[in-house]
Amino acid sequence: MSASAGPVYYGTTEPLPTRLRRFRELCGISRSELALRTGLSRPTIWAWESGKTRPRLRNLRVLANVLGISQLELVGGLEAAVPDNEVEAMLATGWEHGDMPAGIANPQRLSIMIYAAKLSIAALAGIKAQNVKISIEL
């Protein structure tokens, strides 16, 4: 069973340790079983679920794969990929929603999601986020 059977909360405030534990339990596997399936140690899984440490990106990929979910589901959506201080800086520099067409229900949230998507795309492509252009047709 994959964790996808449970609800998905994008942009949630649920912390990663809680999400990881919830998805693991939805799969019906123990920490020991998760450690075995991922090739990681039980103390490492415990440390992540208790919030003592945070998994690196490559380990998030492994965890998401074993749990049958996307990395975005595991970390809480695109918004969770952007640290609060970056969101504050982004909004302070006028990124907010100056270029958003009229009629967008929540322009600030959409701006944050676009910014997070740019960061993710840039990281995967090995380029600067400023070189990523996203277009939305309404």
Phi, psi of 100 (to 5 degrees): -75, 135
Verify that 7 and 20 share a domain, yes or no.
yes
pTM: 0.51
Q: Is residue 86 part of a domain?
A: yes
Instruction: Provide the number of structural domains found in the chain.
Output: 2
| The residue count for the chain | 138
Whether residue 23 contacts residue 74, with contact meaning beta carbons closer than 8 Å, is answered with: yes
Instruction: List per-block mean pLDDT (blocks of 10 residues) for the chain, which spans 138 residues.
Output: 43 77 91 96 96 88 87 67 53 52 65 74 75 80
Q: Is residue 42 part of a domain?
A: yes
Do 19 and 69 belong together in one domain? Answer: yes
Domain assignment present for residue 49? The answer is: yes
Q: Which amino acid is at 131?
A: N
* The pLDDT of residue 57: 82
- For residues 8 and 56, membership in a common domain is answered with yes
Q: Would residue 120 count as lying in a domain?
A: yes
In a domain, 138, yes or no: no
Kindly state whether residues 107 and 41 are assigned to the same domain: no
- Whole-number pLDDT of residue 74: 81
Contact 10/76 with Cβ under 8 angstroms?
Answer: yes
Tokens for 60? 């998030």
Domain hosting 70: range is 3-77
Tokens of 70: 């996307």
What's the CA gap between 79 and 117, in Å, rounded? Answer: 9
Residue 70: its pLDDT value, please? 74
Neighbours of 64 (CB within 10 A): 19
Q: What is the pLDDT of residue 49?
A: 95
Residues 31 and 92 in one domain: no
Give me the long-range contacts of 55-59 (CB less than 8 A, separation at least 24): 55/16
Give the three-class secondary structure for 27: coil
**Same domain for 71 and 8:** yes
Is the same domain home to 12 and 50?
A: yes
